[in-house]
Structure 1
């Protein structure tokens, strides 16, 4: 088991609930869990979230970058403070920029320059960068996660919705 990233549609009333619960961890985690059952617009990119940020931006998720729509696609815009799990949201006002950035990003080109050694040096999660024989499988997982994320944000844009990001 590890830290798995999930992304889900968040209607306006759900966003308001998240904001109201932002300092009540148990209620917030319950809300995030219940939301999965309520809305079927969601994706799970498993453990590929940190490397996806790295491949798209050149930086790990632990490095701060302000207003980068590719980073925001993976990590959300507004992380909640004082919560043991990673929970963030992205308001609808940022969805168009994120969707456009994903559409314009050339993942095939980025994966041509992909380096397991660079991932290891950047100390990316998960710690799989010594398994050189699995490089092609890992690249396929990154590509699939990216394609799913692109479709997801396009759908959220069409619905004029918000996004809830959980990494736990």
Structure 2
């Protein structure tokens, strides 16, 4: 199945609850419940690591502190001491993230990217030997990028926070 990334609207009340969680079991129940009720939701499937790499030049396993392009993919604050990846971004950072995404030229970045580069960087998922699918992989990534920009635009308009889950 693999690791999938989801991004969703997080209200202030939910953010406060997330910041005060008691244990891992409780946090996953809360997140699953919020996911079912999410007003604004983005699923980029397994493209999170490649998208992070295209935006920043490094894998998502090495997030860049205070870099809005890195934060767009992995959030700002991660929840520690849990097995899976859950992070959030407070609403005061959303505008900067959206601006950075809007200023980024993904089409140009994709033109210079090859599957061999993904293989060398050991990016997730391991799709780097499917050279015949390179154009399809790039189209899918461009679609994820465009949907991510739309997502952050909606979050900004809704004055919301963002919940990031990768599991």
Q: Into which bin does the TM-score normalised by the smaller protein fall?
A: over 0.9
Match of 1:8 in 2: 8
5 Å-filtered alignment, 1:50-61, equals 50-61=49-60
Per the TM alignment, residue 84 of structure 1 is displaced from its structure 2 partner at its CA by: 0.7
TM-score normalised by L of structure 1:
0.97
Per the TM alignment, residue 143 of structure 1 is displaced from its structure 2 partner at its CA by: 0.4
C-alpha distance in 1 between matches for 2:123 and 2:164? 19
Q: How many residues align?
A: 167
Say yes or no: does 1:159 pair with 2:158. Answer: yes
Matched position secondary structure for 2:82? coil
TM-score normalised by L of structure 2:
0.98
Matched position secondary structure for 2:102? helix
Match of 1:89 in 2: 88
Instruction: Identify unmatched segments of 5+ residues in structure 1.
Output: none
Matched position secondary structure for 1:138? helix
C-alpha distance in 2 between matches for 1:36 and 1:100? 26
Q: Which runs of 4+ in 1 moved over 3 A?
A: none
Per the TM alignment, residue 40 of structure 1 is displaced from its structure 2 partner at its CA by: 2.7
Instruction: Identify unmatched segments of 5+ residues in structure 2.
Output: none
Q: Residues 55-84 of structure 1, C-alpha deviation per residue, up to 9 Å, x if partnerless?
A: 111111112411110110000000110111
5 Å-filtered alignment, 1:126-145, equals 126-145=125-144
Match of 1:111 in 2: 110
C-alpha distance in 2 between matches for 1:105 and 1:66? 18
Match of 1:65 in 2: 64
Matched position secondary structure for 1:51? helix
